[in-house]
Amino acid sequence: MSKPIPPTSLAPTAIPAAAPAPAGRTNYRELQPQKIVDTAAQLERRIADRFPAAGLRQVAGELHRVAQEAVLRCEQIKRPHLWLRAACVLLVIAILGVLVLIGLNVHSSGDELRELDNFAQTMEASLGSLFFVGATLAFLFSLERRLKRERALAALHELRAIAHIVDMHQLTKDPENLLQGARTPSSPARTLTAFELGRYLDYCSELLSIVAKVGAIYVQEFPDADAVDAADQLAALTNGLSRTIWQKIMILDRAVESGAK
């Protein structure tokens, strides 16, 4: 005969409450702009240590400055345009004042407005004025977002240019040159060893990754549809360029392994 189960054992197990996050823990649900700036600075130092005379070092330094500027630009984009908002408030007050005046005129000249022609002319003029005032109000309300969008798109366009510059620096870094094939008078100089070429290509890939992350900072602070689309296009561009670089790295690894056998 089986032993009866105590009632307490059938009680549901209590789920422990989640422990509060310790103070000072990094938030992993959003990008930390200063961390990206620090990463760009460290990458610049790494490139300078290994390739002090290379043009890629200058590109890394420029990207570091652009990342620093991105933090300030994002703060400016988030900041409200108080003068525009004040203009919108004043315009709303003006519209309300016009409506009040129309109502007072209608009330004071009730006998005249009983005539159909006078009433139609008064309403047509009033509605026409309200239409233009309303269009101006809509323009002012959308002007702040459009100004911010233009600044974000200009910054993202700048990052696209940097991505293409990085691609130009790795363009002639062909791992097949290590096979000592036939050279032509126009062939680029071969000054890098296999290890140095691998590090150079890896640095280019890291630079492209930082370019995409700097672009993501803008849309994190300003999630505008056009800006988000431009940032996604920038990320697709850098991923495609980085994919080409890693294909070169794979070819380089196979060439090194073949030479070691």
Q: From CA 35, how far away is CA 217, in angstroms rounded? A: 11
Position 201 in a domain: yes
Cα 154 from chain centre: 11
The token duo for 228 is 């988000």
Q: From CA 149, how far away is CA 17, in angstroms rounded? A: 43
The token duo for 105 is 């005129």
Q: Residue 90 has what pLDDT? A: 80
Q: Report, as an integer, the average pLDDT of 59-63.
A: 95
State whether residue 222 is helix, strand or coil: coil
Position 197 in a domain: yes
Name the residue among 8, 40, 78, 76 with its Cα closest to residue 209.
40
Position 101 in a domain: yes
CB-CB neighbours of 13 under 10 Å: 5
Distances (CA, A) of 17 to 14, 20, 160, 183, 256: 9, 9, 46, 69, 54
Position 40 in a domain: yes
Position 177 in a domain: no
Number of structural domains, the chain? 1
Phi, psi of 253 (to 5 degrees): -60, -40
Name the residue among 227, 209, 235 with its Cα closest to residue 78.
227
Position 45 in a domain: yes
Give the domain extent around 237.
33-171+192-260
CB of 27 closer than 8 Å to CB of 208? no
Q: Residue 35 has what pLDDT? A: 93
Position 178 in a domain: no
What does the pLDDT look like over 161-199, one tens digit per residue?
999 999 999 988 888 766 666 666 766 677 788 889 999
pTM: 0.73
Q: Is pLDDT above 80 for 153?
A: yes
Give the pLDDT band (50/70/90) at residue 78. Answer: confident
Position 5 in a domain: no
